[in-house]
């Protein structure tokens, strides 16, 4: 399918028409083709009630929201300064580092929401208080026979669930050890970011705004590079 798509305009038009009818978008990036689900009116858009079937760590909507923050924090590393980005591409992020980034982000958002008397969460449509409370009460991880166990109701469990979703699409590689795991981005990760955000002007402003929020955390010294 890939070679005919590349070589024939007729095939490309046919594939695009079929994709449009299902609310999908086919994008070619470097060495891979990506099939993206459009945010609205897509046959394949999963409502929250359906996500429980595919996401093992999904227990309720707050878990899903927190996983969204985890994905956002991971994606934000792609927009770091060049030195940090190179380090991330080569060394990746450990689950402990991801946990620290998520904790500091949620703490910062919680403070902003308190200072604004709830306006921050309403303006951004974020369940800030619920996410902050759930994340604060979760255990870090569980040790079994000297090895870290990623149980559902733990911070590492939610992180592992979120990272595994990226692994399914070959966007990251996960290296597992007895004490922690480390995720490293693959070329597919960067292609997917370009395909998704590079061609969605309607949503680019909101993505950029979230980046500003994360940069705000870093500039206050609350988040490590």
pLDDT, tens only, 130-162: 999 999 999 877 667 667 777 778 899 899 999
Give the Cα-Cα-Cα angle 138, 144, 146 (nearest 5 degrees): 115
Spatial separation of the C-alpha atoms in residues 214 and 8, rounded to whole Å:
43
Spatial separation of the C-alpha atoms in residues 210 and 207, rounded to whole Å:
5
Range 16-31 burial, b when 16+ CB lie within 10 A, else e: eeebeeebbbbbebee
Give mean pLDDT, residues 113-126.
91
pLDDT digits (tens, 9 = 90+) for 69-100: 999 889 887 766 556 666 777 888 999 999 99
Alpha-helical runs (H) found in the chain? 2-7, 9-21, 48-51, 61-76, 82-91, 95-115, 119-124, 128-137, 155-168, 187-197, 201-219
Environment class of 53 (CB within 10 Å of its CB; exposed 0-12, middle 13-18, buried 19+): exposed
Q: What is the pLDDT of residue 128?
A: 95
Q: Does residue 50 register a pLDDT over 50?
A: yes
47 falls in which pLDDT band (50, 70, 90)?
A: low
Give mean pLDDT, residues 12-27.
74
Give mean pLDDT, residues 37-58.
62
Helix (H) or strand (E) holding 222: none
Q: How many CB atoms lie within 10 A of CB 49?
A: 8
Q: What is the pLDDT of residue 83?
A: 60
Helix, coil or strand: residue 96 = helix
Q: What is the pLDDT of residue 223?
A: 47
Task: Select the highest-mean-pLDDT range: 100-104, 136-140, 214-218.
Answer: 100-104
Q: Does residue 225 register a pLDDT over 50?
A: no
Helix, coil or strand: residue 191 = helix
Spatial separation of the C-alpha atoms in residues 74 and 211, rounded to whole Å:
11
Residue 150 Cα to chain centre, angstroms: 18
Spatial separation of the C-alpha atoms in residues 45 and 122, rounded to whole Å:
24
């Amino acid at each position: 399918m890939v070679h005919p798509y590349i070589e024939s305009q007729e095939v490309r038009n046919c594939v695009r028409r079929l994709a449009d009818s299902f609310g999908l978008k086919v994008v070619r990036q470097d060495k891979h083709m990506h099939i993206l689900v459009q945010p609205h009116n897509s046959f394949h858009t999963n409502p929250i009630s359906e996500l429980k079937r595919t996401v093992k760590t999904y227990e309720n909507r707050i878990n899903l929201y927190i996983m969204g923050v985890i994905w956002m924090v991971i994606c934000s590393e792609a927009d770091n300064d060049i030195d940090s980005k190179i380090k991330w591409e080569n060394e990746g992020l450990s689950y402990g580092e991801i946990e620290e980034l998520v904790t500091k982000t949620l703490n910062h958002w919680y403070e902003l929401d308190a200072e604004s008397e709830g306006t921050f969460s309403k303006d951004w449509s974020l369940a800030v208080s619920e996410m902050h409370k759930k994340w604060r009460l979760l255990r870090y991880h569980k040790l079994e026979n000297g090895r870290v166990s990623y149980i559902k109701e733990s911070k590492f469990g939610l992180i592992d669930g979120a990272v595994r979703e990226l692994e399914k699409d070959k966007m990251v590689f996960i290296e597992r050890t007895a004490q922690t795991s480390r995720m490293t981005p693959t070329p597919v990760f960067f292609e997917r970011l370009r395909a998704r955000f590079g061609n969605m002007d309607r949503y680019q402003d909101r993505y950029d705004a979230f980046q500003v929020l994360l940069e705000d955390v870093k500039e206050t010294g609350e988040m490590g590079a």
